[in-house]
Structure 1
């Protein structure tokens, strides 16, 4: 039986790369995108693709129903991937912006995950894969909303793994550092939408943030291609007992190690210099 996998956030970046690669490798991939034009584009490339907006319960239900039509009512793997980053100092961040960050990066994931667990339990197998971030391990300035959503996801996923420990459903986290994607472009749009940049005491730092987000190429020398995440995802797919956590990129390994080793104040001195 061909392994079926639902991947969210497939319009660009990690989701798109993994969906195309797994499809070419012979898996039954159901890609999902928020916008109808992105769905149509992936369908033209030969993929099964459904429209699914994580900010909308009706869209989640409809997208999942369409997925089950394609798979015949099964789902072997759910790869929760769709997310974005809301930049800005926490003191400048409207509460609505924080709500929207959590709606996309956590609450929608919960609703989708909660919907597939009964099916996986009934069919006697399943894997839930959460695409987290190095910023679910350590915090960095001006990323408070994203940090908070990923820290919450880490706790959510650890709890889910414990609650499903006596079942045939496996739960894994992938924790990438910098990956080439459209993440910066989306973040810049949200930054300009919600942060009053000109009237903030952080204006000099914000100008550097805008410059970084506006660059066409990554500024971090440790940035990897989405292939690095695909490698971890394939390990999860092909192992009966995948690891609970998969670090991706050198910064994740480094900060994961330093978080365990250093006192908080020492780690803060390193993180406050990070960009």
Structure 2
């Protein structure tokens, strides 16, 4: 029986690369995107693709139903990946922008996961994979909304793993650092939408943030391609006992280690230097 997978957030970046690579490897892949144009584009590229907008519960429910229609009602792996970053100091961030961040990065994931669990319980197996971030392990300035959503996801996923420990469903986190994608461009657009540059006491640092987000090439020397996330995802798919966590990129290994050994004040000093 061919393993069936549903991947969210496949219009670009990690989701796009993983969907194509896993399809090529012979898995039954159903990709999902928020915008109908992206759904059509992926279908033209040979992928099965459904529309799922993580901000919209009705879209999530319909997208899952459409995916199950393609897989014959079975779903072996859910890869929750759809997310974006909302930059800006927390003091400058409108509450509505924070709510929107959590709708896309957390509440939508819960709604889809909650709908998938009964399917996996009934079929007697399943894997739920959450694409988190190094920013679910440590916090960095001007990323507070994204930090908070990923910290919430970490706690959510740890709890879910405990609650499903007596079932045949496995739950894993992938925690990447910097990965080549459209993430910076999307974050820049969100910054410009919600943050008032003029009048903020962070204005000078915001100029640096906008410069970093506007660069065509990665500003971090440790940035890897999306294939770095594909590797642990495939390991999870193929493992009978996948690990709870998979670190990706050197910054995740480094900060994961430093968080365990350093006093908070020392770690803060390092994090304040990070951009």
Fold equivalence (TM over 0.5): yes
Per-residue displacement from partner, 1:215-245 (whole Å, max 9, x unpaired)?
A: 0000000000000000000000000100000
- Counterpart position of 1:60: 60
Q: For residue 199 of structure 1, report the CA deviation from its aligned partner.
A: 1.4
TM-score, length basis structure 1: 1.00
Alpha-carbon separation, structure 1, partners of 2:49 and 2:82: 14
SS in 2 for 1:86: coil
Q: CA RMSD in A?
A: 0.3
The CA distance in 2 between the partners of 1:220 and 1:169, in whole Å, is 36
SS at match of 2:198: helix
Partner of 1:46: 46
Q: Secondary structure at the match of 2:6?
A: strand
The number of aligned residues is 275
Q: Cα offset for 1:141?
A: 0.1
Q: CA deviation at 1:198?
A: 1.4
Are positions 1:157 and 2:171 aligned together? no
CA shift at 1:50, angstroms? 0.1
- What is the Cα deviation at residue 209 of structure 1? 0.4
Residue 99 of structure 1 corresponds to which residue in structure 2? 99
1:195 corresponds to: 195
The whole-number CA distance in structure 2 between the counterparts of 1:171 and 1:211 is 37
Cα separation, 2, equivalents of 1:183 and 1:46: 24
Match of 1:138 in 2: 138
1:37-62 CA distance string (max 9 Å, x none): 00001000111000010000110011
2:181 aligns with: 181
Superposed CA offset, 1:136-184 (max 9, x none): 0000000000000000000000000000000000000000000000000
**Equivalent residue number for residue 267 of structure 2:** 267
Residues in 2 aligned to 1:133 and 1:68: alpha-carbon distance in whole angstroms: 28
For structure 2, the residue ranges without an aligned partner over 5 or more in a row are none
State the partner residue of 2:244. Answer: 244
Q: Which residue is equivalent to 1:207?
A: 207
Provide the C-alpha distance between the structure 1 equivalents of 2:269 and 2:60, rounded to a whole number of angstroms. Answer: 42
- The separation in 2 between residues aligned to 1:43 and 1:199, in whole angstroms, is 46
Alpha-carbon deviations, 1:54-109, whole Å to 9, x = none? 00011001100100100000000000000000000000000000000000000000
SS of aligned partner of 2:172: strand
In the alignment, what sits opposite 2:8?
8
Distance 1:209 1:156 in 2: 29
Q: Equivalents in 2 of 1:31, 1:199: separation in Å?
A: 43
1:87 pairs with 2:83 = no
For the pair 1:36 / 2:18, whether they are aligned, the reply is no
TM-score (norm 2): 1.00
Structure 1 residue ranges (4+ consecutive) displaced by more than 6 angstroms after TM superposition: none
